[in-house]
Amino acid sequence: MNMAAASIQVSETPLVLYVLRRADDALILGHRLSEWCGHAPMLEEDMALANMGLDLLGQARELYSYAAQVEDSGKDEDTFAYLRDVRQYRNLLLVERPNGDFAQTMMRQFFYASFADLYWRAMMTSRDMTLAAIAAKSEKESAYHLRHSSEWMVRLGDGTDESHRRAQVAIDELWAYTGEMFAVDDSERGLIDAGIAVDPAGLRPRWLGTVSRVLREATLTLPSNDWMQQGGRSGMHSEHLGHLLSELQSLQRTFPGATW
Amino acid sequence: MVAAIQNDADLRQRAWDAAAEVVDPEIPVLTIADLGVLRDVTVHDGCVEVAITPTYSGCPAMNMIALEIELALQRRGISDPRVRTVLSPAWTTDWMSEDGRRKLKEYGIAPPLAASGRRALFGELAVACPQCGSSDTEVLSEFGSTSCKALWRCKSCREPFDYFKCH
């Protein structure tokens, strides 16, 4: 038996857990976008999706490296990405949703980017200097992702009957996964009180303002149902994440410790 | 003591000059000094450390740039240099030198518009064509061949061109 392939143990102090949650969001959404590579509806969009995925992967790497530094038990960015099992992943359920059609991919991007844009801008004043520095880089990238996905919302929603229909289906399917972005548990409450984290609940009115404004321009309708699905932050995932990880981790699980 | 300080200053200058000549592997007309990616060179006990900052979080050129810096310093006889990545303050196109902007334009890439800042959600830009100078241009793709570029087209001379995104 080769022990290197076994999953690792993580000391989930509040700060390590907090950083891993954001790192997992970026990695999983970035991986989803990479699945479009070579399959996007047009060449320009193929580049756009790959570029956004690359930004997210870069953010994930910085965050994982910081988590490793805080935990201080000899791990690195790759250990967290490749050697944790599905229940150890802490990402939002939203980002692990399958790509679906192009409207669903872009709606997921729009919901996330409109949050990330506000979130990272607010985190630039974190008392944690490393998180503030990562935020200052991520904020610029998120703003660009928001702009790109917003333009698609209008193009799809206010496009043909078929593109409008698909965009509306995407909203209806993904809406229930947006609430988790604003949820806070006890482990995060302490970090918020200490000025290390921002309270995401305080960002929701502005998030809803942006989302409503863009979707109105796109002639799309937000659901009136406000019941929200949660679970990803505590490791309770949909069946989709395991399949994603089996691909993402296949090389390190099959050939433990392999390097290029 | 004075001699030691002078030695450190000389070493730092030699290391800076060597690192400043390293070019961006994706845009070989620009050095990392032109780009503002080269942030600092420090000397401690005779050991040289070069600080660089990424343009975009996921820029795959960073590993290559770090390797090129190490090789460039070693070629100048500086043994065992270290390269450190810093994130703060975040890189901005405002740091690109005037010389860098000129070289970029001559290379066929429209340089970033002068001042960075938060763009409007559906903001409009007027980017001049690097071939003919016309400002009658349009965006083809918000994302281009690298993270730092977008793809534009000139409606006067009909040539497509890369625009170095304002960041």
What ipTM does the predicted assembly reach? 0.84
Taking the Cβ of residue A47 and every Cβ of chain B, the question of whether any pair is shorter than 8 Å is answered with yes
Give yes or no for a contact between A103 and A167, defined as CB atoms under 8 angstroms apart.
yes
Reduced to 3 states (helix: H, G, I; strand: E, B; else coil), residue A213 is: helix
Tell me how far apart the alpha carbons of residues B92 and A206 are, in angstroms, rounded to a whole number: 26
Q: What is the pLDDT of residues A98-128, one digit of tens each?
A: 999 999 999 999 999 999 999 999 999 999 9
pLDDT grade for A4, boundaries at 50, 70 and 90? very low
B5 has pLDDT over 80: no
DSSP states of A103-146: HHHHHHHHHHHHHHHHHHHHHTT-SSHHHHHHHHHHHHHHHHHH
Q: What is the pLDDT of residues B69-96, one digit of tens each?
A: 999 999 999 999 999 999 989 999 899 9
**List of chain A residues whose C-beta atoms are within 8 Å of the C-beta of residue B123:** 147
Q: What are the C-alpha distances in Å from A69 to residues A76, A173, A257, B39, B60?
A: 8, 38, 20, 23, 22
pLDDT grade for B59, boundaries at 50, 70 and 90? confident
Look over chain A and give the mean of its residue pLDDT values, rounded to a whole number: 95
Q: What is the pLDDT of residues B40-51, one digit of tens each?
A: 999 998 899 999
Taking the Cβ of residue B117 and every Cβ of chain A, the question of whether any pair is shorter than 8 Å is answered with no
Taking the Cβ of residue B109 and every Cβ of chain A, the question of whether any pair is shorter than 8 Å is answered with no
Taking alpha carbons only, the member of A65, A52, A59, A49 closest to residue A16 is A65
A63 vs B3: which has the higher pLDDT: A63
Q: What percent of chain A has pLDDT over 70?
A: 98
Taking the Cβ of residue A48 and every Cβ of chain B, the question of whether any pair is shorter than 8 Å is answered with yes
Give yes or no for a contact between B122 and A150, defined as CB atoms under 8 angstroms apart.
yes
Q: What is the pLDDT of residues A177-234, one digit of tens each?
A: 999 999 999 999 999 999 999 999 999 999 999 999 999 999 999 999 889 999 999 9
Task: Choose the closest CB to A47 out of B121, B122, B144.
Answer: B144
Give pTM, 2 decimals.
0.92
A48 and B143 within 8 Å at the Cβ level: the answer is yes
